[in-house]
């Protein structure tokens, strides 16, 4: 049976095609410069991605123009999207194309210094292309919010927004700068960086794969309700969170492995013999750890918390859709962040109950009940709507209720019921931000959202704001744990004597486990207002960083770390009994 299956023409043709493909790929890799090929693939992928963004923007503008083709009034023309994103994205695609073409001058026969310069030029053009595509569009989309016309009626924090622009711009522009610094390193520093980056990239990829398998195992039952496209988007959105999640342990193990490998092969001893101290040898790794922390801060600033909230909302919505399909009901594919939220507007004597809170506050709410009270706190009018939407760009801004039942109460509190398909209300002073902002989970907010909430609710009690203040500081402290763990992992990997490296591995695992226990404890105390928010977020990093500096000090002075038996011996050692004093002769 096996011979019959392997001798049929489709099987033979598949084997022949696989062998030819493998031979061609091997020939390309063997006869081409792998370094130039990697930079060419990188710039080509960036060109493809930016080109797709440009085509999407062009199609959106075309669809908007077609929808307004019959409108000849000035108001209709003003509703067209701005041309600024289209122009800048086209310019970004042009820069990416130039960067891709520059990579074809990077050949194996090219002079080494010229190769380095061409790589830096290609990366610089790619960074400028990314900025041209992202920065003007983001500023234009946020301009209305900064001028007081936000989609959900919020008042954004301008410093927090400019902090986001600065961090992302710094991260994009740092790519060619770090490449230039790498090329300017001497041979020893470049060797140390290479020994660290290889296991670091391997650890990041491996831990991400493990996380993906575990997440698919946990949430695989909800994927049939999502479909293939939404499953892909579900995981693409979580990339910042996953990278931030695996980077600390990857940095710890990579520093431990790099220094352990160099110690085992006596390369570290040779470097010390050449006149370099341990601190100078580890300086490239410390800079690499600081740069990895910068990447983490850029991800944690807004993207990673939002991706966690998106994940929970999508899973909850998918479970709800599955339940409704099993019971023969049709569910709308809306993503809800929370179910059931109450808001009381005391000055206007109005109470809100929102059955389904949207993940994006500017989207439609569902199952909304609004009750208007009189001076004696008795109901006068009650609106029960299937959907409620706030139109921020109307003049004046208005609420649109769909599928409404209106209960109007007379003096005897007897309601008169009316059903209407649509009601527009301009008298209400509430905005989606005022109604729903207090329903937000601080774990799902970045610096812009946390700052907005803290500025809008300054008069709240400290206990109510403790979680938001603690998470505000934690946004910066969590990524910097990478640098603190590198200070621990690299010294633990240095071994001068014949003592095995398992002591360093054990110590790294113990310190990492204690760090997570301490972090969870301190954050819980900060959220419950039992510890100042700054200390709750930063104390773990301070303790781990101080431990790393002590380990570095010991290794810099050629001292071995104390063994566990010695430490426990010092703790359990009993003081020796002292002899009684001899009596004095009078």
Q: Which fold has domain 337-437?
A: lipopolysaccharide transport protein A fold (2.60.450)
Check: CB of residue 313 under 8 Å from CB of residue 521.
no
Banded pLDDT at 487 (limits 50, 70, 90): very high
H helix intervals, 494-532: 502-527
Q: What is the mean pLDDT of residues 446-471?
A: 87
Structural tokens at position 414? 């007897």
More confident residue, 545 or 154: 545
Whether the per-residue pLDDT at 5 is higher than 50: the answer is no
- Residue spans of the domains in the chain: they are 1-31, 35-149, 185-302+446-568, 337-437
What pLDDT is stored for residue 205 in this prediction? 93
| Average pLDDT across the chain, whole number | 83
Q: What is the mean pLDDT of residues 353-374?
A: 87
Banded pLDDT at 75 (limits 50, 70, 90): very low
What pLDDT is stored for residue 145 in this prediction? 63
Lowest mean pLDDT among 286-290, 326-330, 340-344, 375-379: 326-330
pLDDT in tens, 200-214: 999 999 999 999 999
Check: CB of residue 407 under 8 Å from CB of residue 415.
yes
Banded pLDDT at 406 (limits 50, 70, 90): very high
Q: Which of 313, 529, 342, 337 is nearest to 440 (CA)?
A: 337
What pLDDT is stored for residue 526 in this prediction? 94
What pLDDT is stored for residue 460 in this prediction? 79
What pLDDT is stored for residue 527 in this prediction? 93
Q: Any idea which residue has 């209300």 for tokens?
A: 425
Banded pLDDT at 394 (limits 50, 70, 90): confident
Q: Which of 465, 420, 475 is nearest to 444 (CA)?
A: 475
Q: Concatenated DSSP letters for 134-171?
A: HHHHHHHHHHHHHTT--TTS----HHHHHHHHHHHHHH
Whether the per-residue pLDDT at 574 is higher than 70: the answer is no
Q: What is the mean pLDDT of residues 502-522?
A: 90
Q: What is the mean pLDDT of residues 437-452?
A: 86
CA distance 140 to 453: 23
What pLDDT is stored for residue 536 in this prediction? 95
Lowest mean pLDDT among 80-84, 182-186, 440-444: 80-84
CA distance 93 to 90: 5
Banded pLDDT at 488 (limits 50, 70, 90): very high
Q: Which helix (H) or strand (E) element contains residue 10?
A: helix 9-31
Lowest mean pLDDT among 146-150, 427-431, 558-562: 146-150
What pLDDT is stored for residue 32 in this prediction? 52
What pLDDT is stored for residue 540 in this prediction? 95
What pLDDT is stored for residue 332 in this prediction? 63
Angle in degrees, CA 560, 562, 564, rounded to 5: 140
Q: What is the mean pLDDT of residues 330-335?
A: 64
Whether the per-residue pLDDT at 76 is higher than 50: the answer is no
State the DSSP code for 348.
T
Q: What percent of the chain has pLDDT over 90?
A: 41
Total residues found in the chain within this entry = 586
């Amino acid at each position: 049976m096996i011979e019959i299956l392997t001798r049929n023409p489709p099987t033979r043709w598949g084997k022949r095609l696989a062998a030819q493909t493998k031979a061609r790929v091997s020939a390309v890799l063997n006869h081409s410069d792998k370094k130039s090929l990697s930079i060419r693939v990188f710039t080509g992928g960036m060109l493809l991605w930016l080109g797709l963004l440009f085509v999407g923007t062009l199609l959106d503008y075309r669809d908007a123009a077609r929808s307004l083709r019959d409108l000849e009034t000035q108001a209709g023309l003003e509703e067209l999207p701005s041309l600024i994103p289209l122009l800048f994205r086209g310019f970004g695609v042009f820069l990416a194309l130039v960067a891709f073409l520059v990579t074809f001058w990077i050949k194996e026969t090219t002079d080494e210094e010229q190769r380095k310069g061409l790589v830096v030029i290609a990366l610089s053009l790619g960074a400028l292309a990314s900025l041209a595509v992202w920065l003007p569009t983001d500023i234009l989309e946020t301009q209305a919010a900064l001028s007081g016309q936000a989609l959900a009626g919020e008042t954004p924090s301008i410093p927090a927004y400019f902090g986001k622009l600065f961090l992302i711009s710094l991260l994009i522009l740092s790519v060619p700068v770090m490449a230039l610094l790498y090329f300017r390193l001497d041979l020893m520093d470049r060797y140390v960086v290479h020994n660290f980056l290889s296991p670091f990239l391997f650890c990041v990829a491996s831990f991400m794969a493990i996380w993906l398998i575990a997440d698919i195992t946990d949430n695989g039952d909800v994927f049939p309700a999502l479909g293939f496209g939404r499953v892909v988007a579900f995981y693409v959105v979580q990339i910042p969170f996953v990278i931030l999640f695996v980077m600390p342990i990857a940095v710890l193990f990579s520093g431990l492995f790099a220094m352990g490998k160099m110690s085992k092969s006596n390369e570290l001893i040779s470097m010390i013999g050449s006149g370099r101290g341990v601190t100078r040898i580890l300086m490239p790794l410390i800079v690499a750890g600081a740069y990895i922390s910068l990447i983490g801060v850029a991800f944690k600033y807004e993207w990673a918390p939002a991706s966690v909230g998106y994940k929970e909302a999508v899973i909850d919505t998918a479970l709800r859709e599955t339940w409704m399909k099993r019971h023969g009901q049709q569910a709308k594919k809306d993503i809800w962040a929370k179910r059931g939220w109450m808001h009381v507007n005391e000055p206007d004597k109005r109470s809100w109950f929102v059955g389904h809170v949207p993940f994006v506050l500017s989207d439609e709410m569902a199952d909304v009940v609004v009750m208007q009270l009189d001076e004696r706190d008795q109901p006068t009018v009650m609106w029960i709507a299937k959907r409620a939407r706030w139109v921020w760009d109307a003049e004046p801004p208005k609420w649109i209720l769909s599928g409404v039942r209106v209960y109007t109460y007379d003096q005897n509190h007897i309601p008169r019921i009316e059903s209407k398909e649509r009601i527009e209300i301009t008298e209400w002073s509430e905005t989606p931000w005022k109604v729903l902002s207090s329903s937000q989970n601080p774990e799902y907010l970045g610096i812009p959202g946390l700052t907005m909430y803290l500025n809008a609710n300054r008069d709240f009690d400290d206990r109510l704001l403790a979680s938001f203040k603690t998470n505000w500081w934690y946004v910066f402290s969590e990524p910097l744990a990478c640098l603190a763990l590198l200070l621990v992992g690299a010294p633990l990997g240095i071994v001068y004597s014949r003592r095995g490296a398992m002591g360093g591995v054990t110590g790294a695992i113990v310190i990492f486990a204690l760090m997570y226990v301490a972090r969870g404890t301190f954050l819980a105390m900060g959220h419950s207002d039992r510890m100042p928010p700054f200390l709750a977020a930063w104390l773990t990093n301070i303790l781990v960083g101080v431990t790393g500096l002590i380990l570095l000090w010991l290794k810099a002075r050629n001292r071995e770390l104390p063994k566990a038996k010695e430490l426990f011996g010092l703790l359990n050692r009993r003081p020796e009994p002292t002899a009684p004093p001899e009596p004095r002769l009078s």
